[in-house]
Amino acid sequence: MLDSRIYRGSGASSSSSSIETLATSAMASGTVPSSHPDWANLLGEVLTLIAKRLSAVDYCSFSAVCTSWASIASPENGMPRPLSLRKNEPYLIFSGDGVGNCQQSDFCTLFDYLDNSFTKIHHLPEIRGKWIIGSQFGWLAVIDELANPSLLNPFTRSQIELPPITAHPEVEPVYDSEGSLAGYSCYDGREYYTLEESQSALVFRKLVLSSNPADGDFVAVAVDTGGTLMYTRPGYREWNIWRFPNGHGVADVIYRDGKFLALTHFGDVYAMDICSPLSSPKASLFAKRYRGYIFCDTSYLVDSSGVLLQVVRQEEFLKEESRNRTCKIEICSLDPETGTWSLVTSLGDHSLFVGCWYSASLSAKEISWLQENRVYFTDDNWDKIPVRQERVRDIGVFNLSDGSFGTCYPPDMRLTWPPPAWITSQI
C-alpha cells in the first residue's frame, strides 16, 4: 500500500511555526540577540530571508503581523505583493513568469482577469521541472521529469504523492548497463522511451479528484494520452486500469453526484462507481452519443447547475504556422428523462471553462469581469503540444452568441512552456 501522504516543502509549515523556527535559527546563529527576542524589531535582513522562504499563505500571514513586517513584504523591498485572491474565481497560472521556457523556474505567476494584472507566487521550488496538466480545489496536478504524477498546492506548498508511472500495469522501467534508469517500455510495441521522451509520451493528460485532498480520503482518476482510464486512492500503490466496451478511449472525466462520469472518444458517457473501498467497482452506460457526434480527441463534460453538458472542440491545422487552432465549438445538453442530447444555443448568464483543469460552469452575475455565454479554453492536447513547445498556445475564448473567437490573455504569453492552466483559490 502506498503512503499517499500530504507533506510540505521546506519552510512551508504553518505561519507561526515556520516564522518562529527561522527567526530562532537566526538568533541562535548570533544574527540577533537570543536574550531579547523582540519579534517586531528583527533586523530587516533577517526578516527578508525569512519571507523569501515562506509559502504564499504564510507570506500573507507574515505581512499582516505588524507594520514593520508589512514593509518587508512589499515591492519597495524588492519582494512580491502578498496574494489577495478572490475565492473560487478562475485565474491563469503559469510556470515562472510565463514567457519562454519556464520549466526550470521555481515560482509561478497568476494572471488576474479583473485588472489584467500579474501576481507572482514566489518561492515554489516544488514546481521546478514539472508540467501542469490540470487543477482542482486549488491543487495542481503535475508531472515530473520522470513522468511521475503528483498533486501540488501552490499556495501552501503542500504535496501529495500518487503512484508513479511504473505503477501503471503496462509500463516497465528500462535500465542501462550501469543500472541507471534509462526510460520506460510500455504496451505500444516500441522497444522503450528515453526519460526525455517519457514525460511527453507517457503523460497523464487529465487527473480528476472526487474531493478536496486536504480533507482526507479521495479517489483520483487519470487519463493518459492514449485515452486509458486509471484510478487510485490514498493507500494504494498502483493505478487500476478500467477498460470500456469496444476498447473506446476516454476523452474527459468529471465527478458528479457521487460517481465519476467518463466521456469516450465516440461520445458515449459511462457512470463509474469506484469511490467505495468496500464494494466492487462497476460501470454502466449513462448516456449514448448524440446524433451527429463527430469523433474528436478534445471534448469535455461540464456540470452546469445540475445540467450535464458536453462540449466538442474541433481544431484546424495552420500549415503556415505549423500548429493546431480551435476552429469550432459545439455544446449540447442531456435530457435526463429521455437520455437524449440537444444542441445548446445559449448558456444564459453562465460561461464555461475547459482545457487544462476540471471543467466548470461559472455565472457572470457572481464574477464581475466574466463575459456571459462564452467558452474559455486552454491548450490541453497533450499528445501534440509536448513536441511543439516553442509554438503558439491554443488559448482563447469562444462567443456562443455569434460564433466568434477571441483572445483572453496578453499575446506575449502565448509562447510559454509549460502551457498555463486554470486554477481557483480555496484560501
**Secondary structure element (H or E) that encloses residue 8, with its range:** strand 6-8
Highest averaged pLDDT of the listed ranges 17-31, 239-253, 408-422: 239-253
What are the cell numbers at 188? 505500444
421 Ramachandran zone, left/alpha/beta (phi>0; psi -120 to 50): beta
Residue 209 has pLDDT above 90, yes or no: yes
Using the predicted structure, report yes or no on whether residue 423 has a pLDDT greater than 80.
Answer: yes
C-alpha dist (Å) from residue 82 to 7, 121, 177: 23, 9, 50
- Specify whether 350 is located in the same domain as 395: yes
Highest mean pLDDT among 60-74, 233-247, 362-376 belongs to 362-376
Nearest by Cα to 266 from 298, 293, 226 = 293
**Confidence tier at 302 by pLDDT (50, 70, 90):** very high
pLDDT in tens, 393-405: 788 999 999 999 9
Lowest mean per-residue pLDDT among 9-18, 225-234, 300-309: 9-18
Is the per-residue pLDDT at 29 higher than 60?
A: no
pLDDT at 137 over 90: yes
Query: Omega of the bond prior to 90 within 30 degrees of 0, cis?
Result: no
Q: Is 111 part of a structural domain of the chain? A: yes
Same domain for 163 and 73? Answer: no
DSSP string, 346-362: --TTEEEEESSS--EEE
In a domain, 1, yes or no: no
Whether residue 329 is found in the same domain as residue 357: yes
Across 204-355, the runs of DSSP E, i.e. the strands, are 204-209, 220-224, 229-232, 240-242, 250-256, 259-264, 269-273, 282-287, 299-304, 307-318, 323-335, 340-343, 350-354
Q: Tell me: the pLDDT tens digits for 113-129?
A: 888 888 888 789 999 98
Whether residues 410 and 281 share a domain: the answer is yes
> Tell me: the pLDDT tens digits for 335-378?
999 999 999 999 999 999 998 888 999 999 999 999 999 999 98
Write down the pTM of the prediction. 0.84
What pLDDT is stored for residue 41 in this prediction?
66
Domain containing 32: what range? 7-77
Average pLDDT, the chain: 83
The mean pLDDT of 180-204, rounded to a whole number, is 77
Within 13 Å of residue 102, how many CA atoms lie on the same side as its CB? 26
Mapped onto helix, strand or coil, the DSSP state of residue 306 is coil
Task: With respect to residue 346, please indicate whether it lies within any of the assigned structural domains.
Answer: yes
Between 20 and 52, residue with greater pLDDT:
52
Shared domain for 89 and 73, answered yes or no, is no
Sheet of 193-194: strand order equals: 172-175, 181-185, 193-194
68 and 188 in a single domain? The answer is no
Please provide the DSSP assignment of 127-185 as one string.
GTT-EEEEEETTEEEEE-TTS-EEEE-TTT-EEEE---GGGSTT-EEEE-TTS-EEEEE
Whether 2 maps to a domain, the answer reads: no
pLDDT at residue 319, rounded to an integer: 83
Number of structural domains, the chain?
A: 2
The answer to the question of residue 385 being in a domain is yes
Write the CA distances from 348 to 185, 265, 290, 364, 423, integer angstroms: 49, 28, 22, 9, 23
Q: Give the mean model confidence (pLDDT) for residues 72-98.
A: 85
Read off the pLDDT of residues 42-64 as tens digits, 9 standing for 90 and up. 778 888 888 888 888 888 888 88
55's grid cell? 509559502
95, 94, 65: which is closest to 82 by C-alpha? 65
pLDDT of residue 142: 92
Radius of gyration of the chain (CA): 23
What pLDDT score was predicted for residue 27?
A: 47
Q: Is residue 367 part of a domain?
A: yes
Is the domain of 61 the same as that of 96?
A: no
Mean pLDDT of 396-419: 81
pLDDT at 12 over 50: no
When pLDDT is cut at 50, 70 and 90, the band that residue 146 belongs to is confident
Q: Are residues 30 and 129 in the same domain?
A: no
Q: Are residues 288 and 375 in the same domain?
A: yes
Pairing of the two strands 131-136 and 139-143: antiparallel
Rounded mean pLDDT, 278-296: 79
Reported confidence tier of residue 6, pLDDT bands at 50, 70, 90 = very low
Looking at the structure, do residues 30 and 173 belong to the same domain, yes or no?
no
What CATH number has the domain bearing residue 408?
A: 2.120.10
Kind plus residue range of the DSSP H or E element containing 363 = strand 360-363
Cα–Cα distance between 32 and 47 in angstroms, integer?
Answer: 11
Comparing C-alpha atoms, which of 232, 222, 283 is closest to residue 252? 222
End position of a domain, from candidates 77, 111, 131 = 77
Closest CA to 150 of 165, 137, 138: 165
Give me the helix-helix angle, 56-63 and 44-52, nearest 10°: 150
Looking at 77, 97, 115, the residue that finishes a domain is 77
Q: Which pLDDT belongs to residue 365?
A: 94
Residues 115 and 14 in one domain: no
Using CA atoms in the order 368, 209, 394, 247, what is the torsion angle rounded to 10 degrees?
Answer: -140
Is residue 67 located within the same domain as residue 96? no
**Is there a domain that residue 16 lies in?**
yes
pLDDT above 70 (res 10) = no
Q: Is residue 89 part of a domain?
A: yes
Q: Which of 77, 104, 130 is the last residue of a domain?
A: 77
The span from the CA of 3 to the CA of 16, in Å, is: 27
- Nearest to 262, CA basis, from 298, 221, 291: 221
